[in-house]
Chain A
Amino acid sequence: MNTTMSKYRPNVTWDKGVGILLIVTVIFGWIASPDFATTSNLGFILQDIGEFLIIALPMTFLIIAGEIDLSVASTLSLSSSTMGYAYRSGINFNVAIIIGILVAVACGVLNGFLVNYLGLQSLAVTIGTLGLFRGLCFVLLGNQPVNQLPTFWSNLGTNSIPHTFLPWSVVIIIPAVAIAWIILHRTRYGRWTYLTGISAEAANFSGIPVKQFKFSLFVITGFMCGLAALVYTLRFASASPDSAMGYELSVIAAVLFGGVSIAGGFGTMWGVLFSVLELGVIRSVLQLINFTANALQMVSGALLLFSVALPRLIGMLKTRREARVRKSVTSLTSSRSV
């Protein structure tokens, strides 16, 4: 248990570290570019991270619980494609949205069923459904994206909330973040998430209905992908079968950068929130000081590598120090174990 304890500590401070990095980046941006600290730019950043953050929330639960879902971007795309397909077939767009979200939930149900009731590995299952759902998008829409959505809805995706700079997507994002935080850190469901991630077997023995619990995580992930699909579809005022291509890796990268351990069991909602904000803010800053897309890609790659490597380095240093302390303690107390 000592090794897990030492792994746990740096992860607790990591989320605060990302928070500090976020503040530093904002101050840097403020100084470096006159175009950074403007309300319109804040609006762009918020709009930019919308669907990422919505998917990052359930992904945080999944990864802490020791699972993963690589099909999230394909689920988003299938949900969006369904909305577009239904609308093109003459169904009222309000109804099309509901159908699209239900399809996303169904995707989550399929993943959850395969992982928990057939006992397959989530990594393998969701690599499979990643391809399956993406393929279905092309079956539905062919190579013809759907555009010209009802003006009311596409305006929601484009305009800000009147008298503010906030995009309409915050109507989903803010409650979603608050609810996710409360559930993870203040409820039994949240404790189950950590316990399952540390040891599913132990969680099972202590009476947690692990199968049903993990199943529900996948279903919620599907539902959140449906909400993200709505935000995405409206933001780009179109439904395309190649929507959100590659987003799954960006979302997982953001969650890991937020200090969530890929091995499961550790991480906080603050860390993930700061991380998604930081990734949005740093891209904006670097773009405004004329970094090219190539340089941007390198910076985000380096950040991720840094985030994976640094906690491990700190952990190693800490373990070594603890070992030294333990040695001196043992030599003092001779017979008692620590």
Chain B
Amino acid sequence: MKGSPLEMQKIKLKALLAVVALGAVVLTNAPAQAAGTIKPGLKIAIMPKAINNGYFTAWNQGAQKACKELKAVCTYLGPTQATGPAQVQFINQVIQKKYNVLVISAADQNAIVPALNKAKAAGITIVTSDADVASTAASSRVVSILPAASASIGTAEVDWIAKATGSKGSVAILSAAATAANQNAWIAAMGPYLTSKYPNMSWVGGTVDKSVFYGNDDPATSTSQFDAILAQYPDVAGIIAPTTVGVLAAAQEKQAKNAAVQVTGLGLPSQMAPYIENGTVGQVGLWNPIDLGYVAVYAGASAKAGIFTGKVGSSFKAGTKSYSVTAGGIAYLGAPFVFDKSNIAVFKKIY
């Protein structure tokens, strides 16, 4: 339907008025928000995949540190179960309570996207940290703060298990939930790397996909899946648990059963210290979740203040360091850090 010339005139006039009004708003707002500074008193929601998880408690520590520096008011809130639908109820709460910024670790890379889009439409600045939404939904957040590229995390874990097993024997994986996007991306990188780099090593199930057991990030399930691996493949040489819950359960069960299998994966130094100190586990690795939370709060606050766009190539400052955005709207922290007998005493006190 095309409008008559008179109607077109009206529309043009309306558009002109709108532009003038917008200009007025910008002008009146300008003095209140001095360009380039983060206003104190920002309301920031820090949402883990699930509360009651040591990893996210550390993550929140970093976030709270940044909040203190920025004089922001931060609330740590989230579900008890790491599922998308459970998280959506809390995202709705964030919208309802009119937070300025939401820093979130996505429990489900798809299911929370409609809720995030609603939050974005309500004017909330969203930063994902630790776990991102699906790449097709990248526009729902400003930026994602991730530890390191998926491939490098996956291949590093293969190197650790190779070191523990003397580069020979078969390997199984004790993962989180079957739909956990982070773990799946790392596992995908492990598959070909192990078979090509270590000719004397193999996957217990033939291929990597058939060698993954899911502990659902639940201590009891992880323990029973660890036992299931040993029952199904008695000659398994090593188990990689790319999740803090899984690797802790594996270390405990290995010690309890006095099993010969080697265990490594992504573990919190504070939780893994007893097992590393007594030799049950040679080494585990992890990035620093404190840094992840810290940097994400700075990214969110900077974006809210208009001094950071989140576009590829743009950058923001967190503390003394500057981070720039790479392809896919992601800013990486750096490679995972390895903990073994030589340094565990220091790191177990930190996180």
Give A contacts to B, CB under 8 Å: 35, 38, 40-41, 44, 48, 138, 143, 145, 147-148, 154, 157-158, 235-238, 240-242, 244-246, 283, 287-288, 290, 292-294, 296-297
Contact = CB atoms under 8 A, between A and B. Distances in A.
A44 B92 contact: yes
Contacts of B184: 143
B80 A145 contact: no
A242 B96 contact: no
The bracket for how many chain B residues form the interface is 35 or more
Nearest to A148: B136
A242 B177 contact: yes
Given A154-B114, A236-B85, A290-B75, A147 B179 contact: no
A78 to B, nearest CB: 15
A143 B92 contact: no
B343 interface: no
B114 A245 contact: no
A241 B89 contact: no
B51 interface: yes
19 contacts: A44-B92, A145-B109, A145-B179, A147-B110, A147-B113, A158-B117, A236-B114, A237-B110, A238-B113, A240-B111, A242-B179, A245-B83, A287-B89, A287-B93, A288-B93, A292-B51, A292-B77, A293-B79, A297-B80
A40 B97 CA distance: 11
A147 B136 contact: yes
Contacts of A236: 84-85, 88, 108, 110-112, 114
A38 B134 contact: no
A141 B136 CA distance: 18
B95 A40 contact: yes
A238 B110 contact: yes
A49 B213 CA distance: 33
Contacts of B52: 294
Interface in B314-348: none
A48 B93 CA distance: 12
Contacts of A138: 178
Nearest to B118: A158
B179 A143 contact: yes
B318 to A, nearest CB: 27
B296 to A, nearest CB: 20
Contact of A244 (B85, B108, B134): B85
A38 B137 CA distance: 29
A53 to B, nearest CB: 15
Given A143-B178, A236-B111, A41 B96 contact: yes
Contacts of B108: 145, 236, 238, 240
A237 B85 CA distance: 11
Contacts of A297: 80
Interface of B: 51-52, 75, 77-81, 83-86, 88-90, 92-93, 95-98, 108-114, 117-118, 134, 136-137, 177-179, 184
A181 to B, nearest CB: 27
A143 B113 CA distance: 18
Nearest to A240: B179
A237 B88 CA distance: 12
Contacts of A296: 80
Contacts of B51: 292-294
Given A290-B75, A293-B51, A35 B179 contact: no
Contact of A35 (B81, B90, B97): B97
Contacts of A154: 114
B257 to A, nearest CB: 27
A41 B90 CA distance: 12
A236 B113 CA distance: 7
A158 B95 CA distance: 14
A290 B98 CA distance: 13
Going nearest first, the 3 A-B pairs with the smallest beta carbon separation are A238-B110, A236-B111, A147-B110
A293 B80 contact: yes
* Among B78, B79, B92, residue most surrounded by chain A Cβ atoms (within 10 Å): B92
B214 to A, nearest CB: 9
A230 B262 CA distance: 45
Contacts of A241: 178-179
Contact of B96 (A38, A143, A158, A283): A38
A244 B86 CA distance: 10
* Among B80, B96, B118, residue most surrounded by chain A Cβ atoms (within 10 Å): B96
Given A48-B92, A147-B109, A238-B111, 14 more contacts: A40-B95, A158-B114, A158-B118, A236-B112, A237-B110, A237-B111, A238-B110, A242-B178, A244-B85, A245-B83, A287-B90, A292-B77, A293-B90, A296-B80
A258 B110 CA distance: 33
Contacts of B111: 236-238, 240
